[in-house]
Amino acid sequence: MDQALSKLIMKKEMLSDLPVFHCPLGYRFRHFQPGDERNWEDLIRHSFTREVKFAHKIGDQVPCYSDRVLFICRGEQPVATATAWETGSGNNKNWYLHMVGVLPEYSGKGLGFAASLAALQKIREAGGETAFLETDDFRRPAIRIYLKLGFQPLHIDESHPGRWKQILQQDRI
């Protein structure tokens, strides 16, 4: 993949149609707690296969609400995460489903869907009516989840229509 490609953008037009959140059987849901920076970084490193510092992506950003950084845990170990992220202020506020990750050994168990849904519900609870996300062409399992949740591709770069066509046709999504 060409690393110079712009991120793909998706938008969910309304959050009023979200299904009810159910934490998958055998797992538990919780918010970020003090000391979870390392847990988040480990989870993201394994699911994104690159280093991402919590402080850079989440912790040093203002505002940072710990109740919007969500985890699904197996016992005490976080195995999936998603963040309900807001940018802007006042009437210029945008909401993002941000930094969704699942440990590879837990993929295919519905945890990415559950973590994403929990974050979208947080956005709705905070007054958000729509949500955006950024993703990459190669994140096909994540894109399938986002489409299932009602996100639709946006074409904000000249390369997007062709890239989306290839993704949707190739995977018959």
Any domain includes 159: no
Tell me the average pLDDT across 17-34: 94
Any domain includes 56: yes
Name residues whose C-beta falls within 8 Å of residue 53's C-beta, 6 or more positions apart in sequence.
41
Residue 73 CA from chain centroid, whole number:
16
Range of the domain at 71: 17-136
Tell me the average pLDDT across 7-11: 95
**pLDDT more than 90, % of the chain:** 76
Does the structure show a pLDDT above 70 at 49? Answer: yes
Any domain includes 1: no
Of the candidates 102, 81, 79, 69, the one whose C-alpha atom is nearest the C-alpha of residue 27 is 79
Any domain includes 162: no
Helix (H, G, I), strand (E, B) or coil at 17: coil
Does the structure show a pLDDT above 70 at 171? Answer: no
**Two tokens, residue 135:** 């993703």
Any domain includes 114: yes
H-state helical runs in the chain: 37-48, 54, 111-125, 140-148, 160-170
CATH number for the domain harbouring residue 102: 3.40.630.30
Task: Identify the pLDDT of residue 1.
Answer: 42
pLDDT band, very low/low/confident/very high, at 26 (cuts 50, 70, 90): very high
Any domain includes 5: no
Q: What is the pLDDT of residues 97-153, one digit of tens each?
A: 999 999 999 999 999 999 999 999 999 999 999 999 999 998 999 999 999 999 999
Task: Identify the pLDDT of residue 172.
Answer: 67
The structure tokens 């519900």 sit at 121
Any domain includes 145: no
Which of 2-6, 14-18, 52-56 is the least confident region?
A: 2-6
* CA separation for the pair 86, 93 (Å, rounded): 7
Q: How far is CA 48 from CA 52, 54, 81, 103, in A?
A: 9, 13, 12, 9
Contact 118/29 with Cβ under 8 angstroms?
yes
The structure tokens 């941000």 sit at 98
Any domain includes 30: yes
- Number of structural domains the chain divides into: 1
Q: What is the pLDDT of residues 63-108, one digit of tens each?
A: 667 889 999 999 999 999 999 998 877 777 899 999 999 999 999 9
* CA separation for the pair 27, 76 (Å, rounded): 9
Does the structure show a pLDDT above 50 at 55? Answer: yes
